[in-house]
Structure 1
Amino acid sequence: MKPPFRADHVGSLVRPPELAEARAQFADGVLTAEELANVEHKAIAAIVRRQESIGLESITEGEFGRDWWHIDFLTQLDGVTTRANYGPQFGGAGDQPPVATVTDKVDCSKPIMVNQFEYLQSIVRATPKFTIPSPSMLHIRGGRKAISSDAYPELDEFWADVSAAYRKAIVWFAAAGCSYLQLDDVAFSYLCDPAVRENCRRNGDDPKPLARRYADTINSILADKPAGMTVTMHTCRGNFRGAWVAEGGYEAVAEAMFSIDVDGFFMEFDSARAGTFEPLRFLPEGKKAVLGLVTTKVGKMEKKDLLKRRIDAAARFVPLENLCLSPQCGFSSTHHGAAVSEVGQWRKLELVVDTAHEVWG
């Protein structure tokens, strides 16, 4: 079966204590980059074997080489740095993610994270899956305010440069053999929330055309998608140590989002924050919706029968053969830790696999 698989997952996994300790020692200058890489590789090898042992067909490196799911990639693009967060806040999370900030012309003059994919590919038996942030992550939190007016007096040129940079990045992944790439994009889910739309206005943007702008940009970067590469997109309402940013159903953005020419959409549906399944009626024929029904925000286990009933409810809008199952987000989007334990993480992934087997065979 071509990805996304009936039982799939978003990507990030809980960092084991030895990796967290090694990253802290590296930050303090106690470990060298090579020594840290050795610890990372050992930890990644362990989670690869565990993913394969429970029956997952897509295997990730857990984003173990990153501090943040998005910032580590974005700041390796030319012209991008960070500032302290002044965008939408994660409720009750304390520390807040920094905001990607554009200070000069955006480009991709070197491969980004391809070495991390190559290590993953070298040790997997199943399909290696790699995740990168969507281009909209350069805009949604900081907006016009976070993009230099000197570098980009007009945003059309900014989006053109972003598209060109991402096309280069994807070509490098393809050249390394990547056949399953996921774009992580919280922007569409964020735009469902009136508070986020108001923040867009404060940042100098009209929120009404943003979903279409983001969709057009993603379609632009995929216009010359390498043959044989599956690309999916994940969207959720934020996941930072169990906290979130946005609430609201997908109705306001569904048509624009589903116009994106990816092979599947990983969508958060673990709580009332995500609304109903009704917007799935806009899913184009032949595309897959991966239902994020298993939460990564709390450790309490879902009931298999409830998951099956919810899959049946979604199947009223999308044929069952075009649906898949996953957690609603990664388990540890940042290095700070997670709301679910390592043990709980594997139990939830086993639940996804077992439920998918019973529903689809």
Structure 2
Amino acid sequence: MGVELKAGKRSASPFRFDNVGSFLRPEKLKEARASFAVGDISADELKRVEDECIIDLIGKQKDVGLQVITDGEFRRSWWHLDFMWGLNGVSKETVGKGYVFHDEETRPETARLTGRISGENHPFVDHFTFIQQYAEEGVIARQTLPAPAQFLAELQRPENISATEEFYTDINVLVKDIAKAYQTVIQDLYAAGCRSLQLDDCTWGMIVDPNYWNARQDTETVEGIGELYLSVNNLSIENAPEDLTVTTHVCRGNYHSTWASSGGYDPIANILFEKENVSAYYLEYDTDRAGDFAPLSHVGEEKSVVLGLFSSKTGELEDKETIKTRIKEAAQYVDLDRLCISPQCGFASTEEGNILTEEQQWEKLRLIKEVADEVWN
């Protein structure tokens, strides 16, 4: 293909060898959460177990060579709902049906409005403060949040729409309040020392799936919904400090090693890659469900792409030469110097986790580092 694999290491996030954020929960943590749920241990006792498990996880992240540490989302049940529940004006609710994945259905939980939305005193700020104390020279702490568009999509689920419209009859006012709440949380995270923020977003993977449109009964379009999601995301980060690196991760579902949607980036490339005001995209590319690399030609020259070429859904290790060939293919559309690699998603987007062992999880990350060191030396 005529592309030389030659570029240097990176000293800023995202890094050549990177990770999406969540990790398999250890049994000790699962047992503690189960005990807390039935009232056998207190919140303080649960926090002590969480703290211990996170400290151990941080050590393992550093040992495997990651230059970014997270808390593995160990204090959460879901990658997205726990954050939403932490906002003012939002409640945790049980509904009749969970999210439908390819082979499974999730727990039937959602986030529903009980009032106007705001972001003061969000518990995730304390969660970040805990991991920030373990940052050091060459290792930064990162906070992952569900994207504002993801929150908007949750509030527009059929089960939630009546509650949403009780407080917001104008979609523009809803978008502004979501953005304002996120701005509050982001400023508080920044004050706590956060300089790397990742917005996890399944909305783009959803609206490129033909099945999503087959289920709709309206006249909306990919462009119309895409521009709405773009607006709430951009409005939420428009006042972010200049030295805060804001990236986004695009996913097609990651639950117990199953997936939720399929479709390439082509229909939304001109919106997501050209207009979203983030510095890098963590993109699912571990299967053909994500399409080819051609849409990456829309990514601006000032932005980076983290290729999710490795699957977090399985312990099977990818072939190094195959991965290098795919990096060469992607480099036809985005300069190699603006490329990095990672798993396509976290190892445990929910506390159930994917179907692989903790050792397989670390073996996968060691392989990614080996490839990154060989490609970007």
TM-score normalized with structure 2 length:
0.91
What is the RMSD computed on CA atoms of the aligned residues? 1.7
Structure 1 position 56 matched with structure 2 position 82: no
Structure 1 position 239 matched with structure 2 position 250: no
Structure 1 position 129 matched with structure 2 position 139: no
Structure 1 position 212 matched with structure 2 position 227: yes
Please list, as runs of the form range in 1=range in 2, the aligned pairs for 1:1-361 lying within 5 A after superposition: 1-81=11-91, 82-84=93-95, 86=97, 89-96=100-107, 98-125=109-136, 126-141=139-154, 143=156, 145=158, 146-147=160-161, 148-199=164-215, 201-202=216-217, 207-258=222-273, 259-361=275-377
Q: Choose 201-210 or 281-290, whichever is displaced more.
A: 201-210
Unaligned runs of 5+ in 2: 1-10
Separation in structure 1 between the aligned mates of residue 44 and residue 376 of structure 2, nearest angstrom: 44
3-state secondary structure, aligned to 1:209:
helix
Separation in structure 1 between the aligned mates of residue 96 and residue 280 of structure 2, nearest angstrom: 31
Separation in structure 1 between the aligned mates of residue 98 and residue 169 of structure 2, nearest angstrom: 22
**1:245–1:306 distance in 2 versus 1, CA, 3 Å:** same
**1:301–1:124 distance in 2 versus 1, CA, 3 Å:** same
The alpha carbon displacement at 1:189 in A equals: 1.1
Contact 2:308 2:345 in 1 (8 A): yes
Q: How many residues align?
A: 360
Contact 1:292 1:329 in 2 (8 A): yes
3-state secondary structure, aligned to 2:341:
strand
3-state secondary structure, aligned to 1:113:
helix
Separation in structure 1 between the aligned mates of residue 375 and residue 237 of structure 2, nearest angstrom: 32
Percent identity, aligned pairs only? Answer: 37
Contact 1:134 1:183 in 2 (8 A): yes
Separation in structure 1 between the aligned mates of residue 84 and residue 337 of structure 2, nearest angstrom: 35
**1:114–1:18 distance in 2 versus 1, CA, 3 Å:** same
The alpha carbon displacement at 1:227 in A equals: 2.9
What one-letter code is carried by the residue in structure 2 that aligns with 1:101?
A: R
3-state secondary structure, aligned to 1:325:
strand
**1:83–1:142 distance in 2 versus 1, CA, 3 Å:** farther
Q: Choose 304-313 or 77-86, whichever is displaced more.
A: 77-86
TM-score normalized with structure 1 length:
0.95
- Alignment deviations for residues 208-237 of structure 1 (CA, whole Å, 9 cap, x no partner): 411111112111111111131111100110
Q: Choose 264-273 or 110-119, whichever is displaced more.
A: 110-119
Separation in structure 1 between the aligned mates of residue 218 and residue 185 of structure 2, nearest angstrom: 28
